[in-house]
Amino acid sequence: MAKVIFPDHLLPFVGGNREINIEAKRYRELVEILETRWPGCGIELEKCAVAIDSQIYQDAFLEDLLSESEVFFVRKIEGG
């Protein structure tokens, strides 16, 4: 199961859970499961970038998840 970690600003949208484990094969499926569990959180997740196994994705969608994957939601990065 993938380990999913939420930053402070997302905790109100995911029941206050800092860390959960979810069975999902792809990022899209993971978000669907989270939205089912906490309706409305998907909009907030969409505003985030996500780090999957150390690589940051600004626009994740179809990325594969492994059973030991670590998924961190982080604020989207801007640059100059």
Partner 1 sequence: MAEAVDYKIIGERPVRPDGVDKVTGRAQYGADLSLPNTLIGSVLRSPHAHARIKSIDVTAALSMQGVYAAITSEDFASPDGEVGGEAAGSASDLAKNVMATDKVLYHGHAVAAIAASTKEIADLALDAIVVEYDVLEPVLDIDEAMKDTAPLLDPDCYTQNLPEKAEKPSNIASVMQLSGGNLEEGFAAADIIVEGEYNIPMAHQGYIEPHACTATVNEAGQATVWCCTQGHFEFRSMTAALLGMNIADLKFIASEIGGGFGGKTVVYLEPVAVLLSKIAGRPVKMTMSREEVFRATGPTSGTHCKVKVGAKKDGTLTAASAWLAYEAGAFAGAPMGPGAMCIFAPYKLENFFVEAFDVLVNKPKVAAYRAPGAPQSAHAMEIALDDLARELEMDPIDLRLKNAVQEGDQATYGPKFPRIGFKECLEAAKNHPNYKTALEEGTGRGVSAGFWFNVGMQSSAEVHVNENGTVTLVEGNPDIGGSRASMCIMASETLGIEYESIRAMIGDTESTGFSNVTGGSRTTFATGMAVVQACEDIIAQCKARAAVTWGVDEDQVEWQDGQAIPAPGVNADVKPLSLADIASQAHKTGGPLLGRASLNAQGPGPSFAVNICDLKVDQETGKVDVTAFTAIQDAGKAIHPDYVEGQMQGGTSQGLGWALNEEYIFDANGVMENAGFLDYRIPVASDLPMIDCHIVEVPNPTHPFGVRGVGETPIVTPLAAAANAVRDATGVRINDLPLSPPKILEALDGND
The amino acid sitting at 16 is G
Unique residue bearing structure tokens 């959180």: 41
Opening angle at CA 26, ends 55 and 2, nearest 5: 70
Contacts with partner 1 in 44-73 (CB under 8 A)?
Answer: 51, 54-59, 70, 72-73
Determine how many CB atoms are found less than 10 A away from the CB of residue 6: 25
Helix (H) or strand (E) holding 35: helix 27-37
Smallest distance from partner 1 to CB 18, Å: 10
Q: Does the footprint of partner 1 cover residue 80 (CB under 8 A)?
A: yes
Q: CA 46, CA 30: separation in Å to the nearest integer? A: 12
Q: Does the footprint of partner 1 cover residue 19 (CB under 8 A)?
A: no
Binding residues for partner 1, total number by CB under 8 A: 22
Q: Which of 9, 23, 39, 43 binds partner 1 (CB under 8 A)?
A: 9
Binding residues (CB under 8 A) for partner 1: these are 5, 7-9, 12, 51, 54-59, 70, 72-80
